[in-house]
Amino acid sequence: MKKIYPCVIGLGYVGLPLFVRLKRKFETVGFDTDLNRVKHLNKKVDKNGEYSKKDLLLTNKSLITNKSFSLKKSNFFIITVPTPVKKNFMPDLTHLKSASRVVGKNLKKNDIVFIESTIYPSVTQKICLKIIEKFSGLKHKKDFNIGYSSERINPGDKKHSVENIKKVVAIENSSKEILNRVFLVYRAIAKKLIMSKYIKEAETSKVIENTQRDLNIALMNEIYLICEKLEINFKEVKRLALSKWNFHNYSPGLVGGHCLPVDPYYLAHIAKQKNYPSKVILSGREVNNGMEKYITNKIIKITKIKTKNKKVLLFGITYKSNVADIRNSIPLNIWNKLKVKYKKNIDCVDSCVDKEVAKKYNIRDHVKKEKYDYFIPLVKHKDFNSQFKKAKISNKKIKLIDLWG
């Protein structure tokens, strides 16, 4: 078997964990077009706060670069670039197409390519494959192979890290030698592999994982809104309902980030192309998208910040707890709207965000000695209790507001 030289394209929340795992066993290239990201990682600094300096030590002659000519030696490419949506909620494959061109220009005979970016069914074979063939001059199956492996990275979750989760790996009509190489690479990433011969089915399984979760949260958000209208205690309703054996424990919330608010649109997009307009999926998105406005208005109403000289302290602006990521963050949007209108009466604390982000959005990393009337968590990081205790030192009568209570 020929020696394997992996290359991970895209070193964000998805790609960096793969690179960290692969460099332990192979001479691996980590490629990213973001020069600042590359500089930080080469200084052993992960601005996302997921990996330590020790984790980022380069081994086995591995390297991190933004120079595409460094990919010439690579023969196993893994694409992990972002796949967001446009302002009109249509899939944006710009980064994926660009990464496919980079791979095509560096591809050689007998190389293997895997897509890990979240996509709608058929993108691997109908879009990425065509671009790679065009720029490489090579033909799929005859000269190289392509596959799909769904990413299941959950930032901030140490229990379900990439090495501990079950990893879906799909590649069609491949020889034993190709499968052996695929197995060696992905076993270096994850302990448990779920193999498949069907790429489109693997692509679909990824988007429905997040679509299911988005819809479950949307259902709870709608029930929460109904309870609010009826002046019913939602938490008591849920507590009672959970006493039934088959009632699932989902909670309402602000759905943000790079997966849940995006993937349902990808599935709905391909369904519409096949003349099946989504009836349920997009309804869930509509409910979840509406929560930002509702919670913003609820904060204004509860605190009476409009009419009274009250001081409000918001806690947490990342898209979820215990991460530094602010992409598609609903709490950040709420903070930005409130600080413009009520900047004299409102502050925000978040110990997880990067210092540059904190400076840009005027966010503190700890509670200062100021008298606040309300302490409102939008995201509960692990230091929530300690930060609230600090706020109580200046005002023992400070009110802790549970927006979902």
Cα distances (Å, whole numbers) of residue 209 to 157, 206, 213, 253: 17, 5, 7, 18
Strand partners, 110: none
* Structure tokens that stand for 52 in this block: 């330590």
Contact (Cβ atoms closer than 8 angstroms) between residue 44 and residue 56: yes
Q: Taking Cα atoms as reference points, which of 112, 78, 94, 102 lies closest to residue 1?
A: 112
The amino acid present at 20, given as its one-letter code, is V
> Nearest Cα to 314, choosing from 214, 213, 388?
388
Contacts (Cβ under 8 Å, ≥6 apart) of 297: none
The beta-strand segments (E) located in 141-233 are 145-148, 166-171, 192-196
User: What is the number of residues in the chain?
Assistant: 405
**Residue 153 to residue 191: CA distance in whole angstroms:** 14
Residue showing tokens 């591809």? 107
| Strand 166-171, strand 145-148: pairing | antiparallel
DSSP state of 22: H
Q: How many CB atoms lie within 10 A of CB 55?
A: 13
Could you report how far apart the first and last alpha carbons of the chain are, in Å?
A: 60
Question: What are the backbone angles phi and psi of residue 206, rounded to the nearest 5°?
Answer: -65, -50
Domains of the chain in sequence order: 6-197 (3.40.50.720), 206-285 (1.10.1040.10), 289-400 (3.40.50.720)
Closest CA to 129 of 118, 119, 117, 138: 138
Joined tokens for residue 230: 């009826």
Main-chain phi, psi angles of 113, to 5 degrees: -125, 135
Query: What's the pLDDT at 48?
Result: 87
Beta bridge pairs of residue 9:
31, 79
Q: Alpha carbon 181 to chain centroid distance?
A: 28
Q: Provide the residue type at 178 as one letter.
A: I
Reduced to 3 states (helix: H, G, I; strand: E, B; else coil), residue 94 is: helix
The SS3 call for residue 163 is: coil
DSSP 8-state assignment for residue 377: E
Q: Is 255 helix (H, G, I), strand (E, B) or coil?
A: coil
Beta-carbon contacts of 94 under 8 Å, excluding residues fewer than 6 positions away, are none
From residue 65, give the alpha-carbon distance in Å to each of 49, 81, 97, 111, 228. 20, 15, 19, 20, 52
Q: Which residues are catalytic?
A: 259
Indicate the pTM of the whole model.
0.93
pLDDT at 276: 97
What values do phi and psi take at 192, rounded to 5? -125, 120
Distance CA 274, CA 256 (A): 28
Task: Identify whether the C-beta of residue 316 lies closer than 8 Å to the C-beta of residue 331.
Answer: yes
In DSSP terms, 314 is beta-bridged to 348, 376
Per-10-residue mean pLDDT, the chain, length 405: 93 95 97 96 92 93 96 97 95 98 97 97 98 98 96 84 92 91 96 96 97 97 97 96 97 94 96 95 97 96 81 93 92 94 88 90 86 92 88 87 88
DSSP 137-158: ---BTTTBEEEE------TT-S
Q: Which residues contact 293 (CB under 8 A, 6 or more apart)?
A: none
The one-letter amino acid at 164: N
For 180-188, the CB contacts below 8 A with 24+ separation are: 180/1, 181/1, 181/2, 181/4, 181/76, 181/112, 182/112, 182/114, 182/147, 184/4, 185/4, 185/6, 185/22, 185/26, 185/76, 185/78, 186/149, 188/21, 188/22, 188/24, 188/25, 188/26
